Amino acid sequence: MVECEFCNIVADKSPSNKIYEDENILAFAPLKKGIISKGHMLIIPKKHYSNIYDIPKEELYHIMDSIKHISQKLKDKFNAEGINLLHASGKVAQQSKFHFHIHLIPRYRDDGLDAWPKTGYEEDNFPNVYKEIADLFK
Ligand SMILES: [Zn+2]
C-alpha cells in the first residue's frame, strides 16, 4: 500500500497545522511556502479518496458544508470578502497529492491573485460542444 501523506496527517502520524475537524473532514494549513493568501487552507475527507471520480457524493456534502462554515468565519475575522475554491483531479489538472482535497483560498481586495489566468484557448466549436455535453444528460 502506498503511503498517503494526508492520511498520515489525519492519523497524527505527520506534523501539520490542523485548523478545524469534525468526524468527516479535516482542515489544515498548507506548508508555509505553499500559502498564497491569508487563511489559505486545505479541506480533506478523513477517509482516503483519490479524486472527484471516486469520492462518494456524501463526502462532498460534508466538505462543502465545512467550507461554508469556514468561509463565514474567515469573512467575519479577517474580512475575507471573497473565497476561491481550487480542486485538482488528475495529473493533467496538476494534482500532486492523490488524497482528495480542496484548497480554500480567502480573497482580499488588491491581493494580487488571479483566479482566471489567460490561456489563449478559444472554443472553435461553440455552441456545438455544449450541445454534446448537454446531450450526455438526456
Ligand atoms: Zn489518503
Find the 34 Cα to ligand 1 centroid distance in Å.
19
**104 φ, ψ (degrees, to nearest 5):** -105, 115
Active site includes 40? no
pTM: 0.93
What are the start-end ranges of the E strands in 54-135?
A: 82-87, 102-107
- Active-site annotation holder among 40, 87, 99, 101: 101
Find the 134 Cα to ligand 1 centroid distance in Å.
34
Per-residue pLDDT of the chain (138 residues; tens, 9 = 90+): 459 999 999 999 998 999 999 999 999 999 889 999 999 999 999 999 999 999 999 999 999 999 999 999 999 999 999 999 999 999 999 999 999 999 999 999 999 999 998 999 999 999 999 999 999 999
Q: Which amino acid does the sequence have at 111?
A: D
List the domains of the chain with CATH numbers: 5-135 (3.30.428.10)
